[in-house]
């Protein structure tokens, strides 16, 4: 297998792209805003119904290429854990969104983008790409008090230090509270099946991405996320804990995950056609489907 790097701001990872019609805008390396702007709520519902997209990968994520066919690469997003595949999360990526150029080995510090979007700049200050929340880049030089110089698959660049910091005060708050406060930045953002970026999240994608911003590595899907972390009793739940819900009144398969936001409230990305929102647990059918509470922070 060859190890590639994602050079798109956000790359959709497709289930079987060769069997469906893909809009060029869905393969745009510069971002997904044009594609998402064309999608109706009916279109977003169809993405889930047909399971066209299985996950996404962010700029500089590694992708282990197993095979190539007709301009597509099949392989694994190595940073996304999947219980069924030890190599990572499997799927197809448009080949033009990957680079096979080997980068210098980096064992030093990294920075993570903690704002919804921020520009990746060339050293001359011009914009190379707009990065999404959760993007991780190795640092080459951080002596500048405004910017970190970073290594990327598109060459040396720089990102504003403020973009790698939280947009709110972090003093005297738990890491669980950080997770929920960061999630509040995406209230009213439209749900996107398989989304892990600031363009849109699904329920487990929101959980995966916000933990990633704190340097906590979780599996990609709710069915795997429920298997990790410290089990917590409902009476002991704290802000930032994860609540998992299963079909058949908690006896079936896990189908949803949400952040506990305190005082009986949840913060979550609900379903296609809806947006990231708060929800009172006692006022929804989910109260009868709660199957586990886990803490990873």
Round to whole Å and give the CA distance between 68 and 4.
12
203 assigned to active site? yes
**How many residues belong to the chain?**
297
pLDDT of residue 233: 97
85 assigned to active site? no
Query: What's the chain's average pLDDT?
Result: 95
**Which of the following is catalytic: 85, 145, 211, 268?**
268
Residue with tokens 């913060």: 267
The two structure tokens encoding residue 292: 């586990």
pLDDT of residue 19: 64
Angle at 109 between CA 196 and CA 203, to 5 degrees: 15
| 210 in Cβ contact with 268 (< 8 Å) | no
The DSSP output letter for 214 is: T
Q: Decide: helix, strand or coil at residue 23.
A: coil
268 assigned to active site? yes
**Which of the following is catalytic: 203, 213, 249, 255?**
203
pLDDT of residue 250: 86
pLDDT of residue 23: 81
Q: What is the mean pLDDT of each run of 10 residues along the chain (297 residues)?
A: 96 85 88 95 91 96 96 97 94 96 83 98 97 97 96 97 94 96 97 98 98 97 97 97 94 96 97 95 93 98
Round to whole Å and give the CA distance between 151 and 156.
5
pLDDT of residue 103: 80
Round to whole Å and give the CA distance between 29 and 35.
11
pLDDT of residue 274: 94
| 219 in Cβ contact with 228 (< 8 Å) | yes
User: What domains are there in the chain, each with its CATH number?
Assistant: 2-99 (2.30.30.40), 110-164 (2.30.30.40), 175-295 (3.90.1720.10)
pTM across the whole model: 0.96
Contacts of 229 (CB under 8 A, 6+ apart): 242, 294, 295, 296
Round to whole Å and give the CA distance between 275 and 241.
20
């Amino acid at each position: 297998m060859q190890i590639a790097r994602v050079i798109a701001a956000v790359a959709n990872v497709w289930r079987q792209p060769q069997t469906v019609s893909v809009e060029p805008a869905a393969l745009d390396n510069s971002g997904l805003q044009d594609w998402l702007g064309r999608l109706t709520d009916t279109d977003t519902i169809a993405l889930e119904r047909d399971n066209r997209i299985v996950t996404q990968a962010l700029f500089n994520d590694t992708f282990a290429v197993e095979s190539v066919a007709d301009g597509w690469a099949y392989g694994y997003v190595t940073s996304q854990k999947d219980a069924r595949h030890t190599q990572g999360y499997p799927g197809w990526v448009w080949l033009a969104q990957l680079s096979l150029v080997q980068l210098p080995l980096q064992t030093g510090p990294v920075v993570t983008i903690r704002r919804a979007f921020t520009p990746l700049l060339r050293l001359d200050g011009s914009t190379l790409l707009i990065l999404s929340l959760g993007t991780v880049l190795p640092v080459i030089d951080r002596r500048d008090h405004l910017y970190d110089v970073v290594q990327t698959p598109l060459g040396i660049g720089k990102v504003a230090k403020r973009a790698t910091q939280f947009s709110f005060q972090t003093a005297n708050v738990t890491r669980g509270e950080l997770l929920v406060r960061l999630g509040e930045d995406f209230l009213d953002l439209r749900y996107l099946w398989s989304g892990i970026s600031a363009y849109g999240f699904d329920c487990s994608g929101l959980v995966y991405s916000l933990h990633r911003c704190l340097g906590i590595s979780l599996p990609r899907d709710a069915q795997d996320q429920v298997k990790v972390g410290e089990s917590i009793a409902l009476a002991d739940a704290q802000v930032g804990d994860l609540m998992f819900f299963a079909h058949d009144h908690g006896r079936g398969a896990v189908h949803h995950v949400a952040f506990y936001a305190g005082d009986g409230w949840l913060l979550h990305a609900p379903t296609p056609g809806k947006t990231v929102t708060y929800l009172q647990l006692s006022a929804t059918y989910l109260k009868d489907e709660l199957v586990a509470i886990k803490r990873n922070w």
